Amino acid sequence: MTPKHAHFLIDFYGKVCADSGKAKYILEAICEMWHHPENIDEIFRKYQKEIYGLPGYPFEYILYGLKWILEQEDINFKGRPSKKQAELDEICKKQNIITPENRKGSQLAISLLCDVANGTHPVESLLKANLDIRPKSK
């Protein structure tokens, strides 16, 4: 199964519900990795004690899995309407997150995490981002 940002969003929501203080460190670490993807091992060591005991995906898997997803989002990015870009910027701003240069594609995934950290339910956040979350029949 290929990991998707929705999987990480639901996992993050579980972490927020379990311990919002520790979950803030997860978001901080993810954003640090977003800015400096070459430093994952260092980021892992820096935050592992802060987030110890949170349920869900292992911290190392989150960092490496999201690194891959975020890079793919940047590669596939073709642009977005200015109104939607302003919405994403505002969501991230509430968490003091600044989008790195040339990372607008991956900003959508980061804004989903920020939206949940801001108190939005993940389903509402996904719908607001126009991501299709309906189950598909085979």
- Identify the pLDDT of residue 19: 98
Q: What is the DSSP string of the chain?
A: ----HHHHHHHHHHHHHH-HHHHHHHHHHHHHHHH-GGGHHHHHHHHTTTTTT--SS-HHHHHHHHHHHHHHHHHH-----HHHHHHHHHHHHTTT--PPTT-HHHHHHHHHHHHHHTT--HHHHHHHTT--------
Among 6, 40, 1, 2, CA closest to 131: 6
- Identify the pLDDT of residue 110: 97
Tokens 């991956």 sit at which residue? 106
Query: Tokens representing 100?
Result: 């790195």
Per the CB < 8 A criterion, the answer to whether 23 and 88 are in contact is no
Integer Cα distance of 126 and 134 in angstroms: 11
- Identify the pLDDT of residue 136: 59
- Identify the pLDDT of residue 131: 77
The pTM of the full predicted model, rounded to 2 decimals, is 0.91
What are the residue ranges in the chain where pLDDT is below 70? 1, 132-138
- Identify the pLDDT of residue 41: 97
- Identify the pLDDT of residue 138: 56
